[in-house]
Structure 1
Amino acid sequence: MEGRTHSSGSGVAEDEHSRYRSPLVSRYASKEMAFNFSEEKKFTTWRKLWIYLAKAQKDLGLAVTEEQVREMEEGLAAGVDWARAAAEERRLRHDVMAHVHTFAHACPNAAPIIHLGSTSCYVGDNTDLIMLRDGFNILLPKLARVIHRLANFAEKYADLPTLGFTHFQPAQLTTVGKRACLWLQELVMDEGNLRYARNNLRFRGVKGTTGTQASFLQLFHGDHSKVEELDRMVTEMAGFKKSYLVTGQTYSRKVDIDSLTVLSSLGATVHKICTDIRLLANLKEIEEPFEKDQIGSSAMPYKRNPMRSERCCSLARHLMALISNPLHTAANQWLERTLDDSANRRISLPEAFLTADIILSTLQNITEGLVVYPKVIQRHISQELPFMATENIIMAMVQAGGNRQDCHEKIRVLSQEAAAVVKQEGGDNDLIARIRGDPYFSPILGQLDTLMDPQTFIGRAPQQVVRFLAEEVRPILEPYRNQMEENVDLEL
């Protein structure tokens, strides 16, 4: 058992530190997501599903008594006898029947009707669907909080000019807030995708061994309406609006594809955002939060490594890779079902939600403490803006009576001289100083400061930020308005 020391039979004493534990749970994941895929949640949900089934069967006229239902509810409240369940599974080699026997031992009067008419997938698949739904319900407010923090950041820096980059080469100016909106746009798409995937989930329902409901039709002596009502009642008790009208023994594994696709897509978004932050940290323009006693490097004390963003990228790669699992699983389901999905799904489904949970919590922490260095940003602009302003200077000279071709040649020569200072001598860009020193440009010297104002190079970036936040970001946050206050303090 976890936390206990015992002999493994190999002469090695075991405790929680001598066995592998997934860092997704032991190191990173939130308590609520770790619980969502825990054995406690899984097996108590099985018991709830058996109670839902018994209640519906009783209400529809089968020989199930109120006393049996009440005994099952008391057995649920008493908790799972884990030692008995483990012993039963070792004996029976079947997890569902092990827990049927364990539950029956706690509810002897109800034992004859527990799991009546059902197949293992009644509890297995329906519980998985509940966990997927509840997992999305955990993730969506966290995603909304990231969007909220980043929206506030974008609004604050909507009109702060910064170098744009294409190919990671300096390009036309944008603003810090506009760049954040590029991140936000993808997060907004992810919110819609996750919400759609959650809302599109259905319950497997009460379908029997191969999905035909034959066992339940027999229990109700051929009454099709009661079989359909049983399915509807249990689906409603489980908190779903609909069940899948047709299934094999399992619900279609394409449902898992749909769920992990949106999570993998979220992983790509977070990876891109955190890669950008890492690049900007190298430029010393923007940094993620850095704790007072945090160490960036064991060898280089001055370093402030973007370790949170690196963690997000690292885990996002794992999340993106997980999508291959449900694709292969769905492709390899034989006829009404095959069991080679089981072991894979035990790993890939929880890990996808745990990983998504971790990267959202980490990204929220990052976005709550992003540090911007406007003076560094301005210095970088000043190194590149003279080259970007040359077309404006040419047009001003033409308006002052100059010849475009002559002006172009003058600026070409001066630009190459200034570029040589930057690249070969490591100096500052002195193009504007060279222009000021050339008598040819005397007609426009009074305009140079205006022509070099970074605000004239950012186009409609501030206006785009304002409109985007108002029309596409703030409205989607409205359903989460009562869940916005929670902050994230990372333990590691």
Structure 2
Amino acid sequence: MSNNAVYQTPLASRYASPEMAALFSNATRFRTWRQLWLWLAKAEKELGLPISQEAIEQMEQHLDLTEEDFKVAAEEEKRRRHDVMAHVHAFGEVAPAAAGIIHLGATSCYCTDNADLIFLRQGLDLLLPKLATVINKLANFAIEYKDMATLGYTHYQAAQLTTVGKRACLWIQDLLWDLRNLTRARDDLGFRGVKGTTGTQASFLALFNGDHEKVEELDRLVTEYAGFKYAYPITSQTYSRKVDADVLNAFASFGATAQRIGTDIRHLAATKEMEEPFEKDQIGSSAMAYKRNPMRSERICSLGRQLTNQAKNALDTYSAQWFERTLDDSAIRRISIPEAYLCGDVLLRILDNVVSGLVVYPAVINRRIRDELPFMATENFIMRMVAKGASRQDTHEAIRVLSHQASAVVKLEGKDNDLIERIKNDPFFAPIHDEIDSLMDPKTFVGRAPEQTVKFVNTEVKEALAPWQHLLSTEVSQLSV
């Protein structure tokens, strides 16, 4: 049946990178199972179990599955209703010398759980450099626009000025926390190792005739083969599903960050202060040809919402586990874990595309400042009048009256804010008439925003990105997403 005739997750078929889609493919999953069986057999042989070198060599020669292997496994699973045993059978057919020792002493979760932990780690290894790249590009953007004054907003109402670069630092700081959280989640990952059906290692103790030291060494050897620093010392049949929750909570937090950034860009696009990249032949609307919809940022918000909600699945799955394990974790984890990684991958691809081509419109920003700055400048006017000997209360009242008049012109007549002209024409303010223009310089309203931006990028950002610097020096390809 054609791929066009069956449902496929858009995360894999439409959005995700080839490397992330491949990581969670059947080919990678079942090859990893075979690799785990090989590691187990090698360790068991090294510790004295009667496993032939021929068996090891045949296993090594058939780690990659052929289409015939997949067919054999599918037929066996249909008959046995057990995916792990189906693949034990398929592996044994191509490695007959090993057929009797594949999976020796192990439970199904030796394959499935250890493989999942490998995928959790490898997936983060793919994602973390992409997140570092997004942060690096935003940091360059922040430095470029560190001095450009822009309206700040509180309650989505015009507030004291900030700079375009300083606002980008708000996004960067949150992404740095995501980088920290995801790095910690990656580095905290352990291996389930060789633990047996309920985590007691009873089957391996029987294999080694009660030799506890050999059982511990078997666990250590297989963990070392897999490249993990340690194995969880206590497991049930599975590793604790709290591990999944820990990882997906870090993903969920990043999803929320992505939504926040996408929402800010969408608002700025609505006011025409900033836009995401818009390609030459891109169509914004099928009906309204003039539109430049922020579709990338909208997609970021949409997929960020999906990613954030995956944490609930992981927490619910963990809390629903009974004693040494129940199987109600299986189906949902086959969906929620790959989709979280695919979704995170997609978000980083789109964020990279957006921050690589953000378009800033200084003329629009300056116009909006001019519309609002007169009201913000009134405190400066009051202070200067008091310095000239005027009463603060009298000055405040004069400013209040003129401000309300100007506000009425803006709101009721739709005209420009004329407060400055009113002040310049009012004899009460004659002592500062020659200072009004200098008191209206936007640069005097941004405080330490430029200095904060430079210091933040040169300290916090630089330190956080140091482990990734060898990757950031190379040019990142611009993706059309």
TM-score interval for Structure 1 and Structure 2 normalised by the shorter chain? over 0.9
| Correspondence list, 1:28-427, <5 A | 28-77=15-64, 79=66, 81-427=69-415
**Cα offset for 1:400?**
1.3
CA deviation after TM superposition for structure 1 residue 404, in Å: 1.7
Query: C-alpha displacement at 1:440, in angstroms?
Result: 1.8
Change (3 A) 1:350 1:77: closer
| Aligned-residue RMSD, C-alpha | 1.0
Contact conserved, 1:178 with 1:464, CA < 8 A, in 2? yes
Q: Is 482-491 or 145-154 further displaced after alignment?
A: 482-491
Note the C-alpha offset of 1:270. Answer: 0.4
TM-score w.r.t. length of structure 2: 0.98
**In structure 1, how many angstroms separate the alpha carbons of the residues matched to 2:14 and 2:261?**
23
- Please say if 1:21 is aligned against 2:17: no
Structure 2 unaligned regions, length at least 5: none
**Take 1:431 and 1:17, find their aligned partners in 2: how far apart are those partners?**
62
The residue that corresponds to 2:476 in the other structure is 487
> Residue 205 of structure 1: CA displacement?
0.1
Query: What is the number of equivalent residue pairs in this alignment?
Result: 479
Alignment partners' CA distance in 2, 1:490 and 1:404: 58
Q: Secondary structure of 2:96's partner?
A: coil
Asked if 2 retains the 8 angstrom alpha-carbon contact of 1:361 and 1:488, the reply is no
What is the deviation of 1:489? 3.8
Cα displacement (A) at 1:323:
1.1
Q: Secondary structure at the match of 1:162?
A: strand
> Does the aligned pair in 2 maintain the 1:364–1:488 contact within 8 Å?
no
Q: After TM superposition, give the deviation of residue 446 of structure 1 in Å.
A: 1.4
Structure 1 position 450, deviation (Å) = 1.3
Distance in 2 (alpha carbons) for counterparts of 1:55 and 1:196:
31
Distance 2:464 2:314 in 1: 29
- Is the contact between residue 208 and residue 216 of structure 1 (CA under 8 Å) also seen in structure 2? yes
CA contact (8 A) 2:137 2:355 kept: yes
Contact 1:365 1:487 in 2 (8 A): no
**Secondary structure, aligned partner of 1:163:** strand
Q: Name the SS for the 2:97 alignment partner.
A: coil
SS of 2:4's equivalent in the other structure is coil
Q: Go from structure 1 to structure 2 and tell me whether the alpha carbon gap of 1:486 and 1:332 turns closer, same or farther (over 3 Å shift).
A: farther
Q: Is the 8 A contact 2:35 2:63 kept in 1?
A: yes
TM score, norm. by length of structure 1: 0.96
Cα offsets for 1:151-193 (capped at 9, x unmatched): 0011111111111000100001111111111111100000000
Structure 1 residues without counterparts, runs of 5 or longer: 6-14
Instruction: Please give the per-residue CA displacement for 1:81-132, whole angstroms capped at 9, x wherever unaligned.
Output: 1111111111111000000000000001111111100000000000000000
SS of residue paired to 1:76: coil
Structure 2 counterpart of 1:454, one-letter code: P
